[in-house]
Structure 1
Amino acid sequence: MSSARDQVQRLLALVPYLRENDGALVEDVAAEFGVKPKQIIADLKVLWFCGLPGAQMGDLIEIDIEAAEGDGVIHINNADYLARPLRLAADEALALLTALRTLREVTGDNDRDAVDRAIAKLERAAGEGAAAAVEGAVAHVHVEPTRPEIAETVNRALAGHRRMHLTYDVPSRDETTERDVDPMRLVVSDGRTYLEAWCRLAEDVRLFRLDRIAAAQLLDLPSEPPAQATPRDLSNGMFQPSEADLLATVRLAPPARWVAEYYPTESVEEGPNGSLVITLRVADTAWLQRLILRLGGSAQVLEPADLGARIAETAREALKAYDF
């Protein structure tokens, strides 16, 4: 279902597109705008009643609705005042340039020239004032560096729909793994670039930080993620708790109360003397262990009890090493 805002934005782009492509097929236009053919027909019926103030004969946009519905062909006339797409606003140019400059940092040498040309074209289209504002804002974008050969191989795999073999470092387990993956897309979050792919080792969708890929090799096999391999919804952040994750209960002393605000929690309860008792989902127990050890005596895992005991023992062994 198309929202009113989406439809208005589409209509403003649809008129100049149809003027440049007279006789376009309804199905082709629908594919171009990412909607169903029946939505394009509905849009045309709205445009039929749009035009210059006065709404007299000759003021309205002329569309052959019968041809569109019957033959699937679109003809449009009397729309010269919308011959060009709307000019980008400064905030729109900022968003696009930010994305392009971020993309530039993770593309291989073969694609970087194309990105540079797109940036230059967009800066010209935005105008001098908007380009200056964008330059100041985008200068703060930082992306963790990726080895050029890794970025090049990943981009070739995505463009050519090829499977890859990765040698991947997993710091949380202090190990390096070998796995075949079917690339799906690149994702940039918090200055880090991730390859989202179907991992044939885990048999699930996984995110791989590009700066942790030690080696990448293109395979002579197509990238074929299974039907259930859908991209993750990252609208609420890169990493979200899952029902399959371990549920842990942690007591936080007052100096560690910030943890309840910083990390996603299932529940938060006030405890004695200003402490908190929180429950949270944990995908990697090694991560929780590092967090608890970093907090020192300000945090304790209550459940699962065996995990809490292991972390406490690790802390005691660490103290022995320093003769405490």
Structure 2
Amino acid sequence: MSPDDRLSRLLLLVPYFLARPGMPLLEAANDLEISEAQLREDLQLLFLCGLPGYGPGDLIDMTIVDNAVTITYDAGISRPLRLTGDEATALVVALRALADVPGLSAKDVVLRALATLEGAVGLSATPMVSVAPSHTDESTMQVVSGALERGRVLRLRYYTAGRDVISDRTVDPIRLLLVSGTAYLQAWCRGTEAERLFRLDRMERAEELTELAACHEPTGQPRFSEGVFAPAADATLVRLRVGPASRWIAEYYPCEHVRSDGTDRWVISLLANNLGWARRLVMGCGP
């Protein structure tokens, strides 16, 4: 029995028993085409499912008297979930983005869920809008994903854009993240002895070592609502006056203020942790 089969059955059990209070276990097992022992295991698992809070008043509850089952609290899943059009579209977009992540494990599960949802809401299998993460080499993603799965140390040759340097890093991988279409590795860097985020598209080389990685719990859930960049306490406020050809800066980098000067020029204020990076940005814009 696959996990998918069991999950589908668990989602069915609550509405099934709600419609049949006092249903004998053996008769229910025959209906569901499983053994009575398997049904008992499923019901024991349902006792641990419910709403956030997970207290006695939040979890699914039932009584089993004389081998007959009656649901006494359904935790809101008395009927199958029905999505609104907006909710379904948002979920389709998220699944399409997830399916496009290079090296994704269990991609077939994502694609099956996407196909089912698209068929249910009548969306075209050919998306009108393509949602894809920034380019990451497939082999890099496979190496990083493999090291995470096997709990191994990674050796990286990594480009740091802020300092315009390439360095070799040895890291204990923690987890992969996808932020605004860009894949990151959250890892413990042994050189800096601190937790760091590494963009996969800036890895020139990734090598999985035979050494087992040390276990590091994430220091906290990253907050990416305003992007990945976190200005230092002593960051310098840089003010740029740019023309139409460099207007992209305001869309690509997190900015403090953006305003028009009344002509075709824009005044952009942004924080920089490294003035060398800011100088290279200006020089790259040309005259």
TM range (shorter): 0.5 to 0.7
Q: Distance in 1 between matches of 2:273 and 2:16?
A: 48
- The residue that corresponds to 1:218 in the other structure is 208
Q: 1:175, 1:98 → 2: CA distance? A: 36
Is 1:42 equivalent to 2:57 in the alignment?
yes
1:100–1:165 Cα change, 3 Å: farther
Q: Larger helix proportion, structure 1 or 2?
A: 1
What TM-score comes out, normalization by structure 2 length?
0.64
3-state SS of the aligned residue for 1:236?
coil
Compared with structure 1, are the counterparts of its residues 93 and 115 closer, same or farther at alpha carbon in structure 2 (3 Å cutoff)? farther
Which of residues 233, 254, 261 in structure 2 aligns to 1:244?
A: 233
For 2:97, give the aligned amino acid. T
Q: CA deviation at 1:288?
A: 0.9
Structure 2's unaligned 5+ residue stretches are 1-10, 19-38
Contact 2:174 2:217 in 1 (8 A): no
- 2:30 paired residue number: none
- Listed as ranges, the matches of 1:189-228 within 5 Å are 189-219=179-209, 220-225=211-216
2:81 is the alignment partner of 1:86: yes
Structure 2: distance between partners of 1:84 and 1:201: 53
In 1: Cα distance, 2:256 partner to 2:70 partner: 56
Question: For residues 173 and 255 of structure 1, do their structure 2 counterparts lie closer, same or farther at Cα, with a shift above 3 Å needed?
Answer: same
Q: What secondary structure sits across from 2:171 in the alignment? A: strand
User: What is the Cα deviation at residue 279 of structure 1?
Assistant: 5.8
Could you tell me how far 1:178 is from its partner in structure 2?
Answer: 0.8
Q: CA deviation at 1:294?
A: 4.3
Residue 193 of structure 1, CA deviation: 1.9
Query: What letter matches 2:107 in structure 1?
Result: V
Q: Whose radius of gyration is greater, 1 or 2? A: 1
Q: Percent identity?
A: 33
Q: Tell me how far apart the structure 2 counterparts of residues 142 and 189 of structure 1 sit (CA, whole Å).
A: 11
Select 1:23's aligned residue among 44, 58, 73. Answer: 44
Paired positions, count: 248
Q: CA offsets, 1:172-209, max 9 Å, x none?
A: 54432111122233233444322222222233332222
Partner of 2:174: 184
**Residue of structure 2 equivalent to 1:102:** 97
Deviation at 1:236, TM superposition (A): 1.8
Give the 3 Å change call, closer, same or farther, for CA 155–259 of structure 1 in structure 2: closer
User: Aligned equivalents of 2:189 and 2:118: distance in 1?
Assistant: 41
**Mind listing any 5+ residue stretches in structure 1 that lack a counterpart?**
1-11, 48-61, 68-73, 298-324
